[in-house]
Amino acid sequence: MSAARSLAAAGLAAVALAAASAAQAIADAPVPSFLWFPASPLIGEPVSLASTSTDASSPITGFAWDLAGNGRFAEGTGVSGTTFSTPGSHLVQLRVTAADGSSSVVGETIQVSSPAIAVMLPIPIVRIVGTPLTSGIRLRLLTVETPPGARVTVDCRGHRCPAKSESLVAASTSVETVTVRFRRYERTFPAGTILEIRVFNSDQIGKYTRLVIRRRSPPTRFDECLAPAGITPIPCPA
């Protein structure tokens, strides 16, 4: 065999040996895995993490968690925990190390959801009593029946509005509902005036009512739900 052929054969053998060694190292490396509970956590809900990693040839002696998905691992044990402050996909990684020095990393994506928003109950009731006029309407009563603690706001648009806005908080009491009365708006309004009534708090779906004053007829009325921020009307949940 020529020298060139001998060198080529030796090179191929070295490559084959290196590949076999790498394959053996991969085969000997630990198999990382972990579970989490709850499976579909909510924002701010504690999440428990537990390693289920295995190694057929050497005991696992080290655990390191990357709970923020940024590649920064912190040494720990086979169990850990965290919470997530935003909804969406969150990467969590676990690195396990065996007694023989081999290590492996696994990453899992945890889907985090926003908590379901409850509807304000009892559902607020907006009541008006008035007399249609040739020019518009004479409102004799404007009240809102609402659970205690809710904020009620009346916004008025038109050239005869006594105030652009008025906001009251239903006093907290031991009763199920509180009636809030807006005497300032119990007056005559010309056609075209718009009254918007919002009932809301920070963590519930509230109530939205829009009244458009007309001539010789009751106001046109639109009733919808209201996002917790108290600004945007939204379709009511089914």
* Residue-number span of the structural domain to which 67 is assigned: 30-112
Domain-located, residue 56: yes
Domain-located, residue 10: no
Asked whether residue 42 falls in the same domain as residue 130, the answer is no
What's residue 27's pLDDT?
56
What's residue 25's pLDDT?
45
Asked whether residue 99 falls in the same domain as residue 57, the answer is yes
CATH value at residue 37: 2.60.40.10
What's residue 121's pLDDT?
93
Domain-located, residue 9: no
Give the C-alpha separation, 209 to 225, whole Å.
Answer: 8
Around 66, how many Cα atoms within 13 Å sit in the side-chain half-sphere? 17
* Distance (Å) of CA 41 to CA 35, 52, 111, 115, 237: 13, 20, 7, 9, 22
What's residue 203's pLDDT?
84
What's the predicted TM-score (pTM) here?
0.60
pLDDT in tens, 178-207: 999 999 999 999 999 999 999 999 889 999
If one compares 5 and 26, the residue with the highest pLDDT of the two is 5
Domain count for the chain: 2
DSSP helix/strand/coil, 226: strand
pLDDT in tens, 73-115: 999 999 999 999 999 999 999 999 999 999 999 999 999 998 8
Asked whether residue 125 falls in the same domain as residue 82, the answer is no
Question: Pairing state of beta strands 151-157 and 194-201?
Answer: antiparallel
Asked whether residue 44 falls in the same domain as residue 78, the answer is yes
Give the C-alpha separation, 164 to 105, whole Å.
Answer: 61
Final residue of a structural domain among 84, 112, 140: 112
pLDDT in tens, 154-185: 999 998 999 999 999 998 778 899 999 999 99
Asked whether residue 41 falls in the same domain as residue 131, the answer is no
Mean pLDDT for the chain overall = 90
Asked whether residue 138 falls in the same domain as residue 189, the answer is yes
Give the C-alpha separation, 165 to 60, whole Å.
Answer: 67
- CA torsion sign, 14 to 18 to 19 to 23? positive
Domain-located, residue 11: no
Beta strands in the chain (DSSP E): 34-37, 47-51, 60-66, 74-76, 79-82, 88-98, 103-112, 118-119, 125-132, 136-146, 151-157, 165-169, 178-181, 188-190, 194-201, 204-212, 220-226, 233-234
Final residue of a structural domain among 112, 146, 179: 112
What's residue 83's pLDDT?
96
pLDDT in tens, 132-146: 999 999 999 999 999
Domain-located, residue 12: no
Asked whether residue 122 falls in the same domain as residue 108, the answer is no
In this predicted structure, the answer to whether residue 26 has a pLDDT above a threshold of 80 is no
Asked whether residue 142 falls in the same domain as residue 230, the answer is yes
Give the C-alpha separation, 238 to 234, whole Å.
Answer: 12
Asked whether residue 97 falls in the same domain as residue 183, the answer is no
If one compares 21 and 228, the residue with the highest pLDDT of the two is 228
Asked whether residue 98 falls in the same domain as residue 123, the answer is no
Would you say 162 and 184 are in contact if contact means Cβ atoms under 8 Å apart? yes
Query: At residue 149, what is the residue type?
Result: G
Asked whether residue 230 falls in the same domain as residue 122, the answer is yes
Asked whether residue 108 falls in the same domain as residue 122, the answer is no
Final residue of a structural domain among 112, 145, 167: 112
DSSP class of residue 113 equals B
Domain-located, residue 25: no
Nearest in space to 145 (alpha carbons), one of 186, 182, 178, 183: 178
